[in-house]
Every structure is written in C-alpha cells, then in structure tokens.
Amino acid sequence: MISENIYRSFGICDELAELVRASEAKVRHRFEAIDEIAEYNTLKVVRAMQECGVSEACMLETTGYGYNDIGRDKLEAVYAKIFGAEDALVRSQIVCGTHALAIALYGNTRPGDEVYSPVGMPYDTLQQVLGVTEGRGSLREYGVTFRYTELLPDGGFDYEGIRSSISEKTRLVEIQRSRGYSDRRSFSVEEIGELISFVRSIKKDVCIMVDNCYGEYTELTEPSQVGADMVVGSLIKNPGGGIAPVGGYIAGTSECIENCAARLTAPGLGKELGPSLGANRLLYQGTFLAPSVTASAQKSAVLAAEVFSGLGFACHPDAEDIRHDIIESVCLKDPDRVISFCKGIQKAAAVDSFAAPEPAPMPGYESDIIMAAGCFISGSSIELSADGPLREPYNVFFQGGLNYAHGKLGIMMAAQQLLDDGLIRL
C-alpha cells in the first residue's frame, strides 16, 4: 500500500500504523452517522443561502462605517435561518468566542441583575468577564452578580439546586453546551431543551444564553431551536469552517440581538455599522463548508478515542458515544505526556510543523496552558489542534481537523511522539 510508505516518511512505525488502521476499521460505522448529520446540515445551509437570495454582490466588501453592507446583512439573515432564530450578529469585529459571549452578557444585563449558570462554573475565560476571578471591567464591577450550581456527581442537572438558586435577581441564565477544560460531559441539544423548559417553569421571562462553542453542526438542531434566547460562538471554531479568518456570532431573538448590537458598536448605532472589509466571501465560504468540516473533526475525534483508549488512556467521549461537540479529552495522567502529545500534533501540522509547543501562561486562563496548533488561521481550533491546562488530571483536549486524513495523521504523530519519548509502549 502506498499509504504505508507515506506514513513511514513521517516517522510513524509500522506497528503503530497497523494499530491505527485496526482502530479505524472498528469505528467506521460511526462515520456513517456523522456523515448523515453533515449531509443534512449542509443542505440546511444551502437552503438558507438560497432563501435569503445570496448573490455575487454579497461577496463584495464595505469600508469605513460599513453602511448598507448587503453581504454582511444577508449573512446575518442566513445565520438566523440556520439557527432557527429571529436575528443574528455575525461580525469580523467580534474577535473570538469570549468576546461574543461578553457582548451577549453585557448587552443583556443591567446593574442589580444576576447571571446564573445551572451547569457549573463557566469556561475559564468567562470567569474574568463575570468577575469570579479578578478582571478589569468585569460584570461584577458594573454591579452584575454571578451564581452557579454544580452538576450532580453523575453529570446530571441538580434540579433542586437550580430551583432554589433562581431568584428575582436572575436575569440571564448561561448554559455551556461543550465541556471546555472541565471534566464534565457535553450536553445534547435535547438535554439543553429540557433544562431550558425547567428553568422557564420557574422563571418565565429570564434570558437564556447558550455558549455554543464547539457544538455547532454536531447535531441536526441547535439550542436556539429548543428555547434558547441566544446561542453564541466563535468563527474560528466549527461555524467558520476553517475559512473564516476571524469572527464571532450571536443568533437569537430580535430583542436580544438588538441589545447585543448596541453593545458591540454603540447605543443608537447598533447593527447598521460594521464594515465587512474583505471578510464577506470568506465568511460565506466558511459557513458553506462548516457542516462537512465539523464532520471531519468529529471523525478524527472518534478515531482518537479508539486509538488512545486502546493505548490504555481514559477517553471522553467514548468512540461509540453520540457526540455533541468536536472535543476529545484524553486523560494522560502525567504532564510530560501532555507535552509530548502536543508536540506530536504540532509535528503533523502543515504550517509551523517545526515549532515545539511549550506550556505558558495565557491571558484569561488560570493555569499554564500548552497549545499545539500549526494553523492557517492563528489559534483556529477547528484546525487540527491539541491543548490542555497543566493541572490534574492532565487531560489533553484534541480537536479539529479540516479533513479526516489530517486528523488521522495528527493522532498517529501524537502517539508516535509518546512512543519516541518512552512515555507509552505498544
């Protein structure tokens, strides 16, 4: 086989290549289910573009204030359709997921309000936004408090705890779909829908926001279709399809989106300002490719689960589990293995393959973080990447892969690096 030689040329030993091939054969049936979801979601995207009358003119750009940017405005209408929402903000001025989430939080709370998470502590970078950890300009400085309820030990929702935590002050409920750097599992859209119904049964008019990062297009529906007022995410993760050069989105009710727009630009300016510069075409292309790119990342994650559990490491989710995001966590139980794994992923990259990642402090994170990402778009984690905080239990989070062949190569390179460093044995 040609492929044997080519893997050898990357320094992958035949035994490892054989092991990965055997793992792949075991999980092939999972790929079919993932492809079916991608097919449906791709058609959903195409239909939304057709219904919105996306035209060649939408690919052009505006500058300055960006008034009457039809490409930008239509893309927002396309997002609203895809997410089953009334409206959306999709902007290259939104720098990342944390920025989009911060806009949604600041836009939809006022002094005296409380933000509440029924699913445990939110993602690391949001803790400074909320003011849980010291953060200049945090919501806490503006008189918005924060409260959360831990998940039950089995990972389920603590309905009693949630009931007693929602009060008159509760203005915005934040539900994180994906696990982030925590040890919990990710939630399905169905589970999120149940949680939303429960929260609404206690307080009808509360604003419910879902941190949708890494979850987009992994299922047939999105949380905005089961009652969330806003879903929020990053365009350098799933929905940008690896093509969007930067950006974030918020899709939701007209009211919430207006509030976000007033915060993103300025009160009175709202959605009407914001030049697309050269981004429109890339954002459309990325949106178009996103379902299939997400599927490639999911297939890579399934293979990673099979390979690394075969090597004796606990992997979440399991290869057979239904997935609700693109993340695979591998519990390596040792900091050296985390570093070695990340080095292997970096070596598989098309860009910066010669660089060696090192753990370092990162803005917004409490522990040192190691990140392997040889990316076309800086920091893009829909591209093949691996990262993790250097803290117990030394989980590494594997994600991305713009195509499956590259995801597979990354898995092999990570395992080979662990072998070469004497940290595992076949």
Ligand X SMILES: *Cc1c(COP(=O)(O)O)cnc(C)c1O
Which residues make up the interface to ligand X (CB under 6 A)? 96-98, 123, 125, 176, 178, 180, 211, 213-214, 234
**3-state SS, residue 192:** helix
CB 215, min distance to ligand X, A: 8
Phi, psi for 204 (deg, rounded to 5)? -70, -45
CB 217, min distance to ligand X, A: 15
**Cβ atoms of residues 346 and 353 within 8 Å:** yes
**Cβ atoms of residues 323 and 317 within 8 Å:** yes
CB 218, min distance to ligand X, A: 13
**3-state SS, residue 311:** coil
**Cβ atoms of residues 306 and 411 within 8 Å:** no
Residue 360 DSSP symbol: B
Q: List the alpha helices (DSSP H) in 87-158.
A: 97-107, 124-130
CB 145, min distance to ligand X, A: 21
CB 242, min distance to ligand X, A: 15
Q: Which is nearer to ligand X, 97 or 410 (CB)?
A: 97
Give 204: exposed, middle or buried? Use CB within 10 Å, 0-12, 13-18, 19+: exposed
Residue 150 DSSP symbol: P
Closest of 16, 42, 17, 69 to residue 272, by C-alpha: 69
Q: Which is nearer to ligand X, 48 or 213 (CB)?
A: 213
- Residue 7: both structure tokens together: 């893997």
> How far apart (Å, rounded) are the C-alpha atoms in residues 352 and 28?
31
Q: Which is nearer to ligand X, 74 or 179 (CB)?
A: 179
Q: Looking at the DSSP assignment, which residues form a beta bridge with residue 386?
A: 372, 398
**3-state SS, residue 115:** strand
Q: Which is nearer to ligand X, 181 or 341 (CB)?
A: 181
Q: Which is nearer to ligand X, 345 or 418 (CB)?
A: 345
Q: Which is nearer to ligand X, 213 or 261 (CB)?
A: 213
Q: Which is nearer to ligand X, 182 or 225 (CB)?
A: 182
3-state DSSP of 321-353: CCCCCCCEEEECCCHHHHHHHHHHHHHCCCCCC
CB 324, min distance to ligand X, A: 12
CB 181, min distance to ligand X, A: 8
> How far apart (Å, rounded) are the C-alpha atoms in residues 87 and 256?
9
**Cβ atoms of residues 186 and 215 within 8 Å:** yes
Q: Which is nearer to ligand X, 340 or 385 (CB)?
A: 385
Backbone φ/ψ region at 36: left (φ over 0), alpha (ψ -120 to 50), beta? alpha
Q: How far apart, in Å, do the first and last CA atoms of the chain sit? A: 22
Residue sitting closest to ligand X (CB): 97
CB 6, min distance to ligand X, A: 33
CB 247, min distance to ligand X, A: 10
> How far apart (Å, rounded) are the C-alpha atoms in residues 331 and 221?
30
Q: Which is nearer to ligand X, 187 or 214 (CB)?
A: 214
CB 188, min distance to ligand X, A: 15
Q: Which is nearer to ligand X, 175 or 409 (CB)?
A: 175
